[in-house]
Structures are given as C-alpha cells and as structure tokens.
Amino acid sequence: MDRRGFSNRLGLRWARLIPLLALSGCSTRAFWLFHPRGAVAAAEFHVMLLDVGIMLAIVLTAGLMALVFLYRYRKPRRQAYDPTFVKSNRIEVLVWGVPLLTVGVLAYFSYQAVFATNPYHPKAITRYEKTEARKGMAVGPAGALRPAITVPGKKPVHVDVITTDWQWLFIYPHRHIASLNKLVVPVGTPVDFRLTSATVVNDFFIPKLVGEIDVMPGMRTKQAMIVSKPGVYSGYSADYSGGGFSWMEFVTKVVTAGQYRRWTHRMAHARRSLTDTTFNRIAAPTINLAHTPKAFAHVQPGLFRHVVQRVMQGKVYATPTAMTENMKKPRGVRVIH
C-alpha cells in the first residue's frame, strides 16, 4: 500500500478518530489492565485493587486532613491559633504506627502476590486450573468421577520466544513450527514461554493476558500464562530497543483447542523452513511496519538454545551507523510495509 498517497485525504482520516473521544469517556473497555483475560493478569489486577483500596484509606485521610486544616486555619479567620502545638507523643506514635502497620499488611499481600504471579512458576495458574476442575466436577457427571485436587493440569503448550531487531519469533519446539510476529495459543491451557533476545533487551508484554518479563540477549527468562477467553490480543515490547521499537508488535490469537490443532497442522505445511541461515536473515535489523506475520515449518531443532549460545559467544547483529545517525527515514535496514 502506498503510504504517501494519504496526505490529500488527511482530514477525513483524522475525523474518524473523533468518536473515540466520546468512547473513551464512558467505557472502561479501553483500559486493558481492568479487563484481564488470564489468570496471572487477573491476579495482578486483584492485588492492585487491594493495594489501592488500603492505600487510599491513608492517602485520602492525609489529603482531607490537610484540606480541612488549610481551610480552617487560613489567616483571616484567626481561629484557635496555637504556635506551641509542635509536639505530641500520641500523634507521633500514630504517624509512625499507622504507616508501619499499613506497610506490614501490604507486605503480606505483596508477598502472596509475588508467588501467585512469579513468571517462572505462577501459583495463579495452578489455582485457576484447580478452580476450573472443581467447576467441571460440579456441572458434569464426567467431572464428578475425577477427584479435583489430583487432576493434573492440561499439558502446557511450550513456546520459545526470540526477539530480534525488531521482530518477534515464536517457536513451538514440540511441533517444529514457528511463527513470526504472531502468537497463537489455545484457550484454557497453560502456556510456558522461554524467552531470549538475539540483540538487545526487550520486554514481553500482553497487557490483557500477562505482565512484563525482560527478554535478554545471551540469557533465558521464563513466563507463563493461561487465557480464559478466546480472542485477539495485542502484545508488544515494552522496553526500548532502538529504531524499530515502536512497530515491534505482535498479534496474540487465542483459539479453541480444535482451532489450535488445525492451525498447527496448517503451519506444519508452511513453505518456509527455519534454519540457522534463515534466522540470521530475520535477525538483521528490520522494521516491520505492518506487523506482517510469517509461518515457518521444519524448524531446526534446538534453535532457541543455539541462539542463546551464539550470543554468549559474542554474536551481534549490529545496527548500521547510517541508521542511527540519519534522522531522516531509516536507511540501511529492511522496512516491511
């Protein structure tokens, strides 16, 4: 598509966005963090509500007290002026004690939440699966036959994530398929991610589904999620990684188990294969303006590990100077329209 041709229709394009103004005023749909669709994101949201609730009690008290005092004791009123009121042990105990107690309570909840949302082993997912299993037991006779506690979770889907400058590569190691800039996962199934970067640090973030985790070169981090509702979700890098960072988005499609199976079969027949050489081509600096997805079959086994090891051995995918110094349009890099 020719991007330059739009300038004459510019006014019209902008006018379309105006209804959004009204929309954002009366709906919280746009507030992605308030509508978590995954157990981990939900746990994070709930502890946020709790924290804000407890903190507001103190912050509002302090704010209201200040407002009342500012109003009551403003100069012309000359009410109950007492410059000797500078010390009160009772108040001192309160002003140290109340924050201390609050921090104590919050610390307890924070500690719980850290384990619930620990990216390497989120208890929120285990808990979610147990609840789901118990629900299944209550409604269906088939469920009643199984004791809920011992039900093992569904077999998790493994996804290896590699970020390059500036794209996302999702490898499904058990199925030897890979998908560029598009993540497809089944609903209600735990997804285990292993993440690394071929170049600089990125941050893996799908606001409605899972919190951020750093993606670091020469290192491996982990993340886990379970999604409660099928749909299409936005994911992107949250940590600045250079010129193509703003376009570093990927689509997350959450589908039913059947759809997921069909998708993997389709992917297995993709024309492209992913070897070391192909990967090096992908990893060369590329700005992906249209978030174009690509499918790969026959992924070289152990590619993730290979990428990590090679970066550890000193492999870099250098950014050309022409690109960093030139303030005009990015040159010296591939741009995918």
Partner 1 sequence: MFVHLQGPWNPLTGRLAWSDIPYRNAIVDGAFAFVVIGALVILTWITRKRLWGYLWREWITTVDHKKIGVMYTLLGLVMLFRGFVDAVMMRTQQVLAVGPHSPGFLGALHGYLTPYHFGQIYSAHGTLMILFAITPILQGLMNAIVPLQVGARDMAFPYLNALGFWLTAAGASLLMLALFVGDFSHAGWIGLIPLTELPYSPGVGVDYWMWAVQIGGVGTTLASINIIATIVKMRAPGMTWGRLPIFSWTALSTSVVGISAFPVLAAALALLGLDRYFGTHFFTAGMGGNLMLYTNFFWIWGHPEVYFVVLPAFGIISEVVPTFSEKPLFGYATMAAASVAIAGFSWMVWLHHFFTMGAGPGVNAFFGIASMLVGIPTGVKVFNWTFTLYKGRIRFESPMMWAVSAFALLLVGGLTGMMLAFPAIDFTVHNSVFLVAHFHSMLLLIGFAALGGISYWFPKIFGFRLNETLGRRAFAFFAGGTFMVFVPMYMLGFMGMTRRLDYIAHPQWLPLLIAEEVGIGLYVVSVYYVAKQFYVSIRDRARSRFAGDVWGTSRSLEWLTYSPVPFYNYAVLPHVNSRDEWAWRRSHGVASRRPDHYEDIHLPRNSAVPVILGALATILGFGLTWRIWWMTDAAFAGIVMAVIVRAFVRNTSWTLTAEEVERLEQGFEDVPPTQTPADHALGGAVVLETADNPP
231 part of the interface to partner 1, by CB under 8 A: no
Comparison of 226 and 267: residue with beta carbon closer to partner 1: 226
Could you tell me which stretch among 144-152, 244-252, 266-274, 295-303 binds partner 1 (CB under 8 A)?
244-252
65 part of the interface to partner 1, by CB under 8 A: yes
Rounded-to-integer distance, Cα 162 and Cα 171, Å: 8
Q: Which of residues 124-163 bind partner 1 (CB under 8 A)?
A: none
Question: What is the identity of the amino acid at 140?
Answer: G
Query: Using the rule CB under 8 A, which residue among 38, 119, 186, 190 binds partner 1?
Result: 119
Query: Using the rule CB under 8 A, which residue among 161, 200, 303, 307 binds partner 1?
Result: 200
289 part of the interface to partner 1, by CB under 8 A: yes
Identify the helix (H) or strand (E) that includes residue 282.
helix 276-283
Comparison of 109 and 297: residue with beta carbon closer to partner 1: 109
Query: Using the rule CB under 8 A, which residue among 140, 276, 290, 306 binds partner 1?
Result: 290
Query: Using the rule CB under 8 A, which residue among 2, 15, 26, 75 binds partner 1?
Result: 75
For residues 317 and 273, is the Cβ–Cβ distance under 8 A?
A: no
Rounded-to-integer distance, Cα 95 and Cα 92, Å: 5
Identify the helix (H) or strand (E) that includes residue 185.
strand 182-186
Rounded-to-integer distance, Cα 306 and Cα 272, Å: 19
Could you tell me which stretch among 177-185, 240-248, 257-265, 271-279 binds partner 1 (CB under 8 A)?
240-248
57 part of the interface to partner 1, by CB under 8 A: no
Select from 178, 157, 193 the least CA-distant residue to 298: 178
328 part of the interface to partner 1, by CB under 8 A: yes
For residues 237 and 194, is the Cβ–Cβ distance under 8 A?
A: no
Rounded-to-integer distance, Cα 243 and Cα 331, Å: 11
Give the shortest CB-208-to-partner 1 separation in angstroms.
Answer: 8
3 part of the interface to partner 1, by CB under 8 A: yes
Q: Any idea what the Cα angle at residue 52 is, between residues 48 and 55, rounded to 5°?
A: 140
For residues 36 and 42, is the Cβ–Cβ distance under 8 A?
A: yes
38 part of the interface to partner 1, by CB under 8 A: no
Give the shortest CB-304-to-partner 1 separation in angstroms.
Answer: 15
Burial 210-228, CB ≥16 within 10 A → b, else e: bbbbbbbbbeebebbbbbb
Determine if the peptide bond prior to 96 is cis (ω within 30°).
no
Could you tell me which stretch among 104-112, 142-150, 184-192, 263-271 binds partner 1 (CB under 8 A)?
104-112
167 part of the interface to partner 1, by CB under 8 A: no
Comparison of 148 and 192: residue with beta carbon closer to partner 1: 192
Give the shortest CB-139-to-partner 1 separation in angstroms.
Answer: 31
Burial class (CB in 10 A: 0-12, 13-18, 19+), 314: exposed
Query: Using the rule CB under 8 A, which residue among 26, 78, 142, 271 binds partner 1?
Result: 78
Give the shortest CB-44-to-partner 1 separation in angstroms.
Answer: 5
